[in-house]
Chain A
Amino acid sequence: MKNTLVDQILLGLTFVVMTLAVIWGLGIAPPDALQGDVQRIFYFHLGCIWPGFLAFFFVLFCSVRYLMTRDLIWDRRALASGEVGLGFSTMVLVTGPIWAKPTWGVWWAWDARLTSMLVLWFIFLGYVILRFYLDDARVEARLRAVLGIVGATMVPFVYMSNRWFETQHPKPVIAGGDDSGIKDPNMVIALVLALAAFTLLYILLARIGTYLFKTDYQIKDLKSRLHILEDESR
């Protein structure tokens, strides 16, 4: 794959911001008064999920564009974004229980937030692996677009679930009312850096993914051309 200047800048920026996020999250930000060092998991936990949700919203946008235009480029963009979103959601579903065990005493609770997040993860798992089960690119893209829209419309529910229901999951840190939020400026910097690092990473990985899916479809086109040429030469 060709490395464009934009990709190189993105890669450099992601590396720098990610390094700063790790330094701030693990070193400079003070430990939480109640939870201690284990609270530091939160920076990457939240840092992953915001770009993850962004990825799913981009899937929604591209899927709608695909259904309107039937241009496969939108399907490729949506799929690349969905893959990265699935990866980030996996990180959230792994880091969450690792934080929960020392804090709640259990790895998992079947509350509205955790369960809806798991359902969202399964929807996007299906969304990503759909391409291994269908041969017709158009049918596959149409089905995927519908699944992507259904999955992405679940995101607001996941986000609001700990406001609408009583959950084991903590109340929102951002815009969660007077009592919520982090007060220490170094904790805020650690969170902002993690959010920026994972957002940059999302953009970079989604760009690479889109390029690779384009190449994949290019190969499929070449395959059909090759079949025609082979038939002619017989």
Chain B
Amino acid sequence: MNYLIAAYLSVWVILAWMIGTLMQRNSRLTKQLKEMEARIAELEQASGTQETSAK
């Protein structure tokens, strides 16, 4: 019976690790994407302002 419990438990542990990794990756990428888009928008706005003042 102990072997049976160990086998099923190991499946759940590996599965939880797989899902946990995906969730962690998702939150890291979402954060990175938001930061990068904000930075790009900021730089594009700044370059737009520079062009207007040059004219």
Footprint of B on A, CB under 8 Å? 1, 22, 26, 37-38, 40-41, 44-45, 48, 84, 87, 90-91, 94-95, 98-99, 101-102, 201, 205, 208-209, 212, 215-216, 218-219, 222-223, 225-226, 229-230, 232-233
B37 & A205 in contact (Cβ 8 Å cutoff):
no
**Inter-chain contacts of B19 with A (CB < 8 A):** 205
* Contact of A37 (CB < 8 Å), options: B1, B25, B39: B1
Footprint of A on B, CB under 8 Å? 1, 3-4, 6-8, 10-11, 14-15, 18-19, 22, 25-26, 29-30, 32-33, 36-37, 39-40, 43-44, 46-47
**Inter-chain contacts of A216 with B (CB < 8 A):** 29
Residues of A contacting B: mostly: helix
**Inter-chain contacts of B7 with A (CB < 8 A):** 41, 44-45, 94-95, 98-99
Measured in the bound complex, the distance between the Cα atoms of B37 and A102 in whole Å is: 56
A30: shortest Cβ distance to chain B, in Å? 14
A91 & B3 in contact (Cβ 8 Å cutoff):
no
A84 & B18 in contact (Cβ 8 Å cutoff):
yes
**Inter-chain contacts of A95 with B (CB < 8 A):** 7, 10-11
Which residue of chain A is the closest to B9 with respect to CB atoms? Answer: A98
B10 & A38 in contact (Cβ 8 Å cutoff):
no
Further pairs besides A48-B11, A94-B11: 4, Cβ < 8 Å: A99-B7, A208-B22, A219-B33, A226-B43
Measured in the bound complex, the distance between the Cα atoms of B28 and A219 in whole Å is: 11
Contact status of A229 and B40, CB under 8 A, knowing A219-B33, A222-B33: yes
* Contact of B36 (CB < 8 Å), options: A22, A94, A98, A222: A222
Measured in the bound complex, the distance between the Cα atoms of B26 and A162 in whole Å is: 40
Measured in the bound complex, the distance between the Cα atoms of B46 and A52 in whole Å is: 50
**Inter-chain contacts of A215 with B (CB < 8 A):** 29-30, 33
Measured in the bound complex, the distance between the Cα atoms of B37 and A38 in whole Å is: 54
Measured in the bound complex, the distance between the Cα atoms of B21 and A205 in whole Å is: 11
Measured in the bound complex, the distance between the Cα atoms of B10 and A162 in whole Å is: 25
**Inter-chain contacts of B4 with A (CB < 8 A):** 26, 37-38, 40-41
Which residue of chain A is the closest to B6 with respect to CB atoms? Answer: A98
**Inter-chain contacts of A101 with B (CB < 8 A):** 3
Measured in the bound complex, the distance between the Cα atoms of B19 and A84 in whole Å is: 10
B3 & A209 in contact (Cβ 8 Å cutoff):
no
Pairs across A and B, CB under 8 Å, 9 listed: A26-B8, A41-B3, A41-B7, A41-B8, A87-B15, A98-B3, A98-B6, A98-B7, A212-B26
